[in-house]
């Protein structure tokens, strides 16, 4: 309707200076009770709201956090919820930008947000990201930044991640305990450290159980259902096909499941399957799919807390790294020996 009232309007009608109004509105010091009251009342009446834009310029901060995520699937949007919660509490607003797993898009988004719009970043890398110069630019401009979930050792920054090696180990060890011998892994893009780490866990479990690694059982695959479906079809067409599959993300496990069903193979008897992330759909499908839970909400909260701490302290936190623990969830797709844990 009408224009937003400013501090000047109050000053003018009350015939006092803007500085006094400003002080009355917050200081409480150096202002007569009477004046203060008058100012407060008029402010109320005019529905005065301080102009944040002016404050941003003055204080050189916006109390806004830029959150860059590869997409907004169930797990990531849960993380974002965690970030949101902590940020709101601390008085920050969150800007979420999806890079759609695209390197170029990630760069554009970063640039957009960087130009004085946000105070800092909380970032999870896209699959597609190979160079991290655009992220380094953030650090060059001295803006605090925390990496979470999909991180890279190419960047010296505080990180919040899952113990991915442990996750890979848990899943594989479980399959071994269930008596599976030829365990394939549907891994993610090699660029993604997270997928390499999960694979290391896989390899570690094999080694601990004296199982020889078969390179043919290691498949690198895009982080999506369709790709995993086709990759699994190929795996199942092998002469000596695997008798279990560990997919490093539930999306891929779903793709694998579809391929397995198409081949009329029975889970868990003919073939075992374990995914990762505890996506809700893994509980819904038949058979239900075993998975490794990642504490997504907690991870988001932790990342945001770290960011806030970084904002408020001056010490160098680039070496800090918080590692959360995964949890194995056993369901029908891999539970061959009933009664075993």
Partner DNA sequence: AAAATTGCCGGTAACGATTCCGGTAACGCT
Partner DNA sequence: AGCGTTACCGGAATCGTTACCGGCAATTTT
Binding mask 12-41 for DNA (x = CB under 7 A): ---xxxxxx-xx-xxx--xxxxxxx-----
Q: Which of residues 22 and 152 has its CB atom nearest to DNA in the complex?
A: 22
Rounded to the nearest whole angstrom, what is the least distance from the CB of residue 278 to a second copy in the complex? 14
Please, which contacts does 193-197 make with residues 24 or more away whose CB atoms are closer than 8 Å? 193/150, 193/151, 193/152, 193/153, 194/149, 194/150, 194/151, 194/161, 194/162, 194/164, 195/220, 195/248, 197/164, 197/165, 197/168
Q: CA 223, CA 61: separation in Å to the nearest integer?
A: 36
Rounded to the nearest whole angstrom, what is the least distance from the CB of residue 118 to DNA in the complex? 16
Q: Which of residues 33 and 269 has its CB atom nearest to DNA in the complex?
A: 33
Does residue number 142 form part of the binding site for a second copy (CB under 8 A)?
A: yes
The answer to whether the Cα torsion of 308, 52, 46, 24 is positive or negative is positive
Task: Determine which residue in the list 1, 2, 47, 58 makes contact with DNA, applying CB under 7 A.
Answer: 58
Three-state secondary structure call for residue 145 = strand
Q: CA 243, CA 307: separation in Å to the nearest integer?
A: 44
The listed partner (a second copy, DNA, none) that binds 142, CB under 5 to 8 Å by sort, is a second copy
In this structure, the dihedral spanned by the alpha carbons of residues 101, 98, 110 and 152, taken in order and rounded to 10 degrees, is -50
CA 296 to chain centre: 7
Whether 172 and 201 have beta carbons less than 8 Å apart is answered as yes
Task: Determine which residue in the list 41, 45, 55, 237 makes contact with DNA, applying CB under 7 A.
Answer: 55
Does residue number 211 form part of the binding site for a second copy (CB under 8 A)?
A: no
The listed partner (DNA, a second copy, none) that binds 284, CB under 5 to 8 Å by sort, is a second copy
Q: Which of residues 110 and 173 has its CB atom nearest to a second copy in the complex?
A: 110
Does residue number 209 form part of the binding site for DNA (CB under 7 A)?
A: no
Cβ-based neighbours of 299, under 8 Å, separated by 6 or more: 79, 82, 148, 149, 160, 161, 162, 324
Sole window of 49-57, 167-175, 297-305, 328-336 interacting with a second copy (rule: CB under 8 A): 49-57
Q: CA 263, CA 148: separation in Å to the nearest integer?
A: 38
CA distance between the termini of the chain: 66
Does residue number 334 form part of the binding site for a second copy (CB under 8 A)?
A: no
Does residue number 88 form part of the binding site for a second copy (CB under 8 A)?
A: yes
CA 46 to chain centre: 42
Q: Which of residues 41 and 234 has its CB atom nearest to DNA in the complex?
A: 41
For 18, the enclosing helix (H) or strand (E) is: helix 18-26
Q: Which of residues 4 and 313 has its CB atom nearest to DNA in the complex?
A: 4
Q: Which of residues 19 and 340 has its CB atom nearest to DNA in the complex?
A: 19
Task: Determine which residue in the list 22, 281, 318, 321 makes contact with a second copy, applying CB under 8 A.
Answer: 281
Q: CA 123, CA 180: separation in Å to the nearest integer?
A: 38
Which residues contact DNA (rule: CB under 7 A)?
A: 4, 6-8, 15-20, 22-23, 25-27, 30-36, 48-51, 53-55, 57-58, 60
Which residues contact a second copy (rule: CB under 8 A)?
A: 1, 4, 49-54, 56-57, 60, 62, 64, 72-74, 77, 80-81, 84, 88, 93-98, 100, 108, 112-113, 115-117, 140-142, 254, 280-281, 284-286
């Amino acid at each position: 309707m009408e224009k937003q009232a400013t501090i000047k309007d109050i000053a003018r009608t009350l015939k006092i200076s803007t500085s006094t109004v400003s002080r009355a509105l917050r200081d409480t010091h150096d202002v007569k009770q009477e004046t203060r009251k008058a100012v407060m009342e008029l402010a109320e009446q005019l529905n005065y709201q301080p102009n944040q834009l002016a404050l941003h310029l003055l204080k050189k901060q916006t109390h806004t956090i830029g959150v860059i995520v590869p997409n907004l699937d169930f797990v990531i949007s849960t993380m974002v919820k965690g970030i949101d919660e902590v940020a709101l509490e601390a008085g920050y607003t969150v800007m979420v930008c999806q890079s759609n797993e695209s390197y170029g898009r990630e760069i554009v988004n970063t640039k957009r947000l960087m130009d004085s719009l946000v105070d800092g970043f909380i970032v999870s890398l896209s699959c597609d990201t190979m160079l991290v110069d655009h992220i380094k630019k953030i650090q060059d401009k001295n803006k605090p930044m925390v990496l979470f979930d999909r991180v890279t050792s190419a960047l010296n920054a505080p990180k919040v991640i899952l113990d991915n090696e442990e996750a890979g180990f848990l899943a594989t060890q479980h399959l071994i305990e269930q008596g599976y011998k030829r365990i394939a892994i549907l891994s993610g893009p090699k660029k993604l450290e997270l997928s390499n780490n999960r694979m290391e866990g896989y390899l570690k479990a094999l080694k601990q159980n004296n199982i020889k690694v078969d390179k043919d059982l290691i498949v690198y695959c895009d982080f999506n259902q369709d790709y995993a479906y086709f990759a699994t079809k190929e795996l199942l067409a092998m002469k000596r096909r695997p008798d279990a599959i560990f997919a490093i993300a539930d999306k891929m496990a779903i793709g694998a499941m579809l391929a397995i069903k198409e081949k009329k193979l029975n889970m868990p008897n003919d073939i075992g399957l374990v995914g990762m992330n505890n996506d809700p759909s893994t509980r819904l499908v038949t058979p239900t799919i075993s998975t490794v839970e990642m504490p997504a909400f907690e991870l988001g909260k932790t990342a945001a807390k770290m960011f806030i701490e970084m904002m408020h302290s001056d010490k160098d936190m680039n070496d800090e790294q918080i590692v959360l623990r995964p949890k194995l969830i056993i369901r029908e797709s891999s539970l061959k020996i009933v009664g075993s844990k």
